[in-house]
Amino acid sequence: MKIAIDGPSGVGKSTLAKEIAMKFNLLYLDTGAMYRTVAYYFLKYNLDYNLENKDELEKINIDLISRAGRDIKVFLNGEDVSQFIREKKVAEVASVLAKYKSVRNKMDLLQKKIAREKKNIIMDGRDIGSNIMPDADLKFYLDADIIIRTKRRMKDLNLNLEDKIAFDEIYKKISERDYNDLNRKFNPLKRVAEAIFIDTSNMTFAQVKQQVFDIIECKLKNG
């Protein structure tokens, strides 16, 4: 089975994808980690990420090691960068770099190659159902109100929800990321017609997971 999960930042795509991978014994490919790895490279070498730099991309080699249901290990030119790419600044730079066609082409080729080779795989991102894995057996599109996503992000960072300055800063960054994802010229964030839409705004993660599990089990049962 091949499963695609798309949606904006802060809706729990990656967490859900990992749970699905463990439950149904699928390989989980964190596509966002690949973009963050490129971003980490640019930050590590103090490169200008506001400019498209095709020459530097040629120097980047990304390897991903994963077993079904386990956290993926990401290697940049032989170095394990799995922990470094989770930093907030890396995610922000990744959103900028994702606008460039050369970056997306590099990531697309690798992701599509993996999707072709694996029979049981789940991917999450922005254009999985529309571009990377259009032949997926199941496609989901998760979304949530931006205020809800901001509050969730604050909880993840252990910030006081009453801290208006922190709220405004995170809200602004999520808004900017949404704009970049939706308006980039190449393979933007897109909800395909066949994707099952789930608004997680007023749902707990357990409720979202159960709904998705039920759908997958029904698909496996009925074909």
CATH code assigned at 77? 3.40.50.300
Q: Tell me how crowded residue 162 is: count the other CB atoms within 10 A of its CB.
A: 8
Q: What is the pTM of this model?
A: 0.81
Indicate the number of domains in the chain.
1
Q: Quote the CA–CA distance of 196 and 219 in Å, as a whole number.
A: 13
For the segment 78-113, what is each residue's pLDDT rounded down to a tens digit? 999 999 998 889 988 998 998 898 998 999 988 898
Would you state the pLDDT for residue 98?
A: 86
Per-residue three-class SS string for 134-146: CCCCEEEEEECCH
- Domain range enclosing 89: 2-222
For the segment 166-222, what is each residue's pLDDT rounded down to a tens digit? 999 999 999 998 998 898 888 889 899 999 999 999 999 999 999 999 999 999 998
Mean pLDDT of the chain, nearest integer: 91
Residue 139 contacts residue 4 (beta carbons within 8 Å): yes
